[in-house]
């Protein structure tokens, strides 16, 4: 049986990551086809994987020694985390490595280089590639920061991609991105999936809503939900500005961990009695599910996303989606189950929400179609079959040209010097 290492590259301070969750769930489904081991840099483990029998190896994560990392904000430290996953690759225990998530990019490139040095073929999933390709524009970088972004992010990712035996794109939209990176190998579309929701307790749902400040019962207003890490690319300021100008009754639930760089002032403004914005902070899986069931519309005005898992999760709960026309989102939705608007266009977003507010029956129909679409096209079982077929082909594919060497990183050495994540 093929022995595969699923290497999840991510900053260890993240507690929630769509890419991390997707990698874990795909790996669980792949365990029916191959002997797969998960090595994740994330500080928090994904619940689904903990409850499964899949093999997991501990990963040591750290930062290069001799620098005052405690005084450096997370968004900058993220770029420099390293791990001992490369050492696992060099141990010779695996036939193939599957690289998930491109940040920290230097570490992704290091693992890819270790694979090539050990003669182990690897494949790359395109989690976060849309954000990598458009990051400099989204974050409004000036010339100096653009150069830093290129050196520490885009170039290392390109190096990793060029040497891959195959790239597993989350949607057809990723093909152009990897072509631009110089990849000339096998490209296959392997979209994310989601499990369909199971039975639930309505009274427990109501109690969760009340604890979070969400009215347990609808009062005639439109209930909308947003869920994401509040990073700049997710478009939260666009969302708040759009809802601030609405004249219809609404409840807007804003889920996800707060960020210091986001101005939440619009969320706390005093409004009409039938208009409210509730910022929940970080949510558990059970809370997310209860809020999906409470919502009429999922609103996701992201500025850059590759193939957001949260869109499929909303659809699986029978919630139609209003989202930006970016990345793979147009391949997740169709007109029967959602609507697309241009990224960053506050007026378009506001007008669309206003129309939906006056058409509750249409929302119900679209929600059922959304659920059916997920059940047909976006399951982890289907994704695992496609990925495994690519694994088999990748084992026969030669390694590509080596990337520029990156400095060696010893996680154990870094930890000994007090730079533990």
Lookup: tokens for 365: 């129909």
Q: Name residue 223's beta-bridge partners.
A: 251
Instruction: For the sheet with 96-100, list strands across it.
Output: 55-56, 35-40, 3-8, 96-100, 122-125, 166-169, 186-189
What's the token pair of residue 329? Answer: 């989102």
Least confident segment among 125-129, 130-134, 198-202, 280-284: 130-134
Q: Which tens digits make up the pLDDT trace of 89-103?
A: 999 899 999 999 999
Q: For the residues 142-155, what does the mean pLDDT come to?
A: 91
pLDDT for 219: 79
Residue 121: pLDDT band with limits 50, 70, 90:
very high
Contact, 353 vs 299, CB < 8 A? yes
pLDDT digits (tens, 9 = 90+) for 337-378: 999 999 999 999 999 999 999 999 999 999 999 999 999 999
- How much is the pLDDT for 409? 52
Q: What is the pLDDT of residue 141?
A: 84
The pLDDT score that the predictor gives to residue 58 is 93
Q: CA 226 → CA 155, 190, 208, 257, 374, distances in Å? A: 32, 25, 17, 12, 19
CB 304 within 8 A of CB 325: no
Checking if the pLDDT of 216 tops 90, the result is no
Q: How confident is the model at residue 312 (pLDDT cuts 50, 70, 90)?
A: very high
Separation in Å, CA 106 to CA 116, 185, 244, 338:
15, 22, 40, 37
Tens digit of each residue's pLDDT (9 = 90 or more) over 258-283: 887 778 887 777 678 889 999 999 99
SS3 222: strand
Comparing CA positions, the residue from 150, 87, 152 lying closest to residue 120 is 87
Which tokens in the block code for residue 313?
């999760």
For residue 175, give the DSSP letter.
H
Q: Which CATH class is domain 3-193+379-416?
A: alpha beta
Q: Identify whether the C-beta of residue 33 lies closer than 8 Å to the C-beta of residue 7.
A: no
- Asked whether the predicted pLDDT for residue 34 surpasses 90, the reply is yes
> H/E element holding 97?
strand 96-100
pLDDT recorded at residue 72: 83
Residue 403 reports pLDDT greater than 60: no
Could you tell me which residue, 406 or 290, shows the higher pLDDT?
A: 290
Alpha-carbon distance values, 363 to 200, 239, 354, 395 (Å): 22, 19, 12, 46
Euclidean distance between CA atoms 83 and 60, whole angstroms? 5
Which tokens belong to 16? 């929630």
Question: What is the enclosing helix (H) or strand (E) of 145?
Answer: helix 143-149
Task: Tell me the percentage of the chain whose pLDDT exceeds 70.
Answer: 91
Instruction: Give the separation between CA 374 and CA 348, rounded to whole angstroms.
Output: 26
Question: Could you check whether 3-193+379-416 and 202-377 share the same CATH topology?
Answer: yes
Average pLDDT of the segment spanning 303-312: 93
Average pLDDT of every residue of the chain:
89
Mean pLDDT of 391-400: 77
Structure tokens at 265: 């002032």
How does residue 399 score in pLDDT terms, banded at 50, 70 and 90?
low
| Predicted local distance difference test score (pLDDT) of residue 419 | 46
Domain ranges of the chain: 3-193+379-416, 202-377
Nearest-angstrom CA–CA distance, 26 and 15: 19
Length reported for the chain: 421
CATH superfamily of 202-377: Glycogen Phosphorylase B; (3.40.50.2000)
Instruction: Decide: 215 and 150 in contact? Cβ < 8 Å.
Output: no
Taking 3-state DSSP, the helix, strand and coil percentages for the chain, each rounded to the nearest 5, stand at 45, 15, 40
- What confidence tens digit (pLDDT) does each residue in 53-81 have? 789 999 999 999 888 888 888 778 889 99
Residue 43's pLDDT is what?
64
How far is the C-alpha of 373 from the C-alpha of 378, rounded, in Å?
A: 8
**Residue 297 in contact with residue 320, Cβ under 8 Å?**
yes
Q: Per-residue pLDDT tens for 166-200?
A: 999 999 999 999 999 999 999 999 999 999 999 99
């Amino acid at each position: 049986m093929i022995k595969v290492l699923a290497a999840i590259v991510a900053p260890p301070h993240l507690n929630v990551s769509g890419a991390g969750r997707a990698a874990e769930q795909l790996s669980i489904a792949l365990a029916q086809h191959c002997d797969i081991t998960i090595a994740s840099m994330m500080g928090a483990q994904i619940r689904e994987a903990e409850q499964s029998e899949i093999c997991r190896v501990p990963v040591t994560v750290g930062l290069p020694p001799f620098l005052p990392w405690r005084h450096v904000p997370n968004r900058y430290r993220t770029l420099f985390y390293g791990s001992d996953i490369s050492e696992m690759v060099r141990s010779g225990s695996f036939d193939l490595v599957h690289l998930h998530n491109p940040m920290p990019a230097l570490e992704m490139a290091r693992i890819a280089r270790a694979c090539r040095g050990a003669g182990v073929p690897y494949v790359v999933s395109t989690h976060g590639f849309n954000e990598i390709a458009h990051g400099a524009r989204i974050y409004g970088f000036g010339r100096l920061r653009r150069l830093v972004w290129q050196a520490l992010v885009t170039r290392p990712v390109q190096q990793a991609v060029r040497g891959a035996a195959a790239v597993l794109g989350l949607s057809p939209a990723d093909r152009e991105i990897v072509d631009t990176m110089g990849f000339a190998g096998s490209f296959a579309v392997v979209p994310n999936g989601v499990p369909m929701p199971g039975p639930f307790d309505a009274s427990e749902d109501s109690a969760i809503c009340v604890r979070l400040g969400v009215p347990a019962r609808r009062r005639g207003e439109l209930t909308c939900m947003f869920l994401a890490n509040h990073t700049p690319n997710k478009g939260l300021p666009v969302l708040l500005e759009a809802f601030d100008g609405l004249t219809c009754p609404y409840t807007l639930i804003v889920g996800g961990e707060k960020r210091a760089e986001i101005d939440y002032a619009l969320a706390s403004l005093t409004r009409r009695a039938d208009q409210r914005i509730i910022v929940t902070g970080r949510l558990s899986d059970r809370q997310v599910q209860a809020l999906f069931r409470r919502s009429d519309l999922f609103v996701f005005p992201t500025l850059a996303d590759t193939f957001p898992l949260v869109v499929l999760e909303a659809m699986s709960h029978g919630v139609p989606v209003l989202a930006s026309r970016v990345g793979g989102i147009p391949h997740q939705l169709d007109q029967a189950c959602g609507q697309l608007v241009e990224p960053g266009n506050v007026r378009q977003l506001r007008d669309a929400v206003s129309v939906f507010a006056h058409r509750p029956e249409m929302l119900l129909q679209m929600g059922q179609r959304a659920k059916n679409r997920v059940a047909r096209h976006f399951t982890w079982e289907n994704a695992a079959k496609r990925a495994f077929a690519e694994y088999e082909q990748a084992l026969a594919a030669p390694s590509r040209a080596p990337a520029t060497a990156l400095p060696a990183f010893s996680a154990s050495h870094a930890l000994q010097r007090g730079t533990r994540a």
